[in-house]
């Protein structure tokens, strides 16, 4: 057991990680209600541990609600995605500036190592080429976290990481990104970003990060719009067709 961690702490961490994984995987879909009794049984946790986990997930923007009212998985919307992106651009940009100014050689090494792992991981699922692979998603998150690990402001770093976690839910629940992701050279984007960071070129690094995040959001919104058009076209011939993008998502 890690130093400083009690059994209750590790249990709380496992429950938190379990719920978050189930949200990302769609086993707890956007908008679904999170009932204490069901979750306690599902994760083998006490109400206190579950409440703590849900509070942490709320801080990360993955669930909404209040302790005495009830929680639910966050709902997805185009406006929220735009707001989320605008916030990420500000906070991740600030965190990256701080990391470049304060990060040492060890931080540079961690960035290069994270990029190396990402570059060596297959981006697409072999079983479903229109889906990003789970392994790549993990390494992608690790790379972006490594970029800001040199930030000297812990609260800023935590906020940036929290917003990026909320954005991950959009990536997981969007229409398949394979057909959209093939429109860009994402490996080249990551390589250029890593190079600019290690070269300590602050303005170029922030510019590249801004374009990288914005491009992903543009593709997600494009997917939303395309799915909406498909739903409307189907609606013309089927009055029972779904009227929202989210209902038609995998």
Token representation of residue 134: 């789970």
Domain assignment present for residue 1? The answer is no
Q: Do residue 155 and residue 33 come from a single domain?
A: no
Positive or negative torsion for Cα 105, 95, 137, 188: negative
Kindly state whether residue 244 falls inside one of the protein's structural domains.
no
Query: Which domain-ending residue is among 73, 91, 124?
Result: 73
- Are 68 and 83 contained in the same domain? no
The CATH number for 164's domain is 1.20.120.530
Structural domain including 60 reads 7-73
Q: Are residue 157 and residue 187 in the same domain, yes or no?
A: yes
CATH number at residue 34: 1.10.10.10
Q: Do residues 116 and 173 share a domain?
A: yes
Domain end residue (candidates: 73, 104, 120): 73
Q: Are residues 111 and 44 in the same domain?
A: no
Residues 215 and 212: their CA atoms lie apart, in Å, by 5
Same domain, 62 and 185: no
Q: Which of 53, 73, 93 is the last residue of a domain?
A: 73
Helix 78-102 / helix 134-148 crossing angle, nearest 10 deg: 50
Residues 67 and 91 in one domain: no
Tally of domains within the chain: 2
Same domain? For 85 and 53 the reply is: no
Whether 224 and 127 map to the same domain: the answer is yes
Answer yes or no: are the C-beta atoms of 75 and 32 closer than 8 Å. no
Task: For residue 243, tell me if it sits in a domain.
Answer: no
Residue at 222 is within a domain = yes
Spell out the per-residue pLDDT of the chain, length 250, in tens. Answer: 344 444 555 888 899 989 988 887 778 888 899 999 999 999 999 999 999 999 999 988 889 987 778 899 988 888 999 999 999 999 999 999 999 999 999 999 999 999 999 999 998 778 777 677 778 888 999 999 999 999 999 999 999 998 998 888 887 765 454 455 566 788 999 999 999 999 999 999 999 999 999 988 888 887 665 554 453 354 344 433 333 332 222 2
Same domain, 176 and 189: yes
Whether residues 104 and 218 fall in one domain: yes
């Amino acid at each position: 057991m890690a130093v400083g961690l009690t059994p209750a702490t590790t249990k709380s961490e496992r429950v938190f990680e379990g719920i978050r994984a189930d949200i990302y995987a769609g086993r707890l879909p956007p908008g679904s209600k999170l009932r204490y009794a069901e979750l306690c049984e599902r994760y083998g946790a006490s109400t206190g541990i579950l409440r703590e986990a849900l509070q942490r997930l709320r801080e990360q923007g993955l669930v909404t609600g209040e302790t005495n009212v009830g929680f639910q998985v966050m709902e997805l919307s185009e406006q929220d995605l735009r707001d989320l992106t605008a916030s990420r651009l500000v906070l991740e940009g600030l965190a990256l500036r701080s990391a470049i100014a304060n990060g040492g050689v060890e931080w540079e090494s961690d960035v290069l190592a994270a990029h190396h792992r990402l570059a060596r991981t297959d981006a697409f699922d072999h079983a479903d080429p229109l889906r990003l692979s789970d392994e790549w998603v993990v390494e992608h998150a690790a790379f972006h976290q490594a970029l800001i690990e040199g930030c000297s402001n812990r609260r800023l770093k935590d906020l940036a990481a929290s917003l990026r976690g909320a954005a991950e839910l959009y990536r997981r629940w969007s229409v398949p990104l394979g057909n959209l992701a093939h429109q860009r050279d994402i490996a080249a984007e990551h390589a250029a970003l890593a190079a600019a960071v290690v070269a300590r070129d602050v303005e170029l690094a922030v510019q590249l990060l801004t374009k990288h995040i914005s491009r992903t959001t543009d593709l997600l919104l494009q997917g939303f719009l395309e799915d909406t058009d498909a739903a409307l076209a189907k609606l013309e011939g089927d009055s029972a067709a779904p009227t929202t993008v989210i209902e038609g998502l995998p």
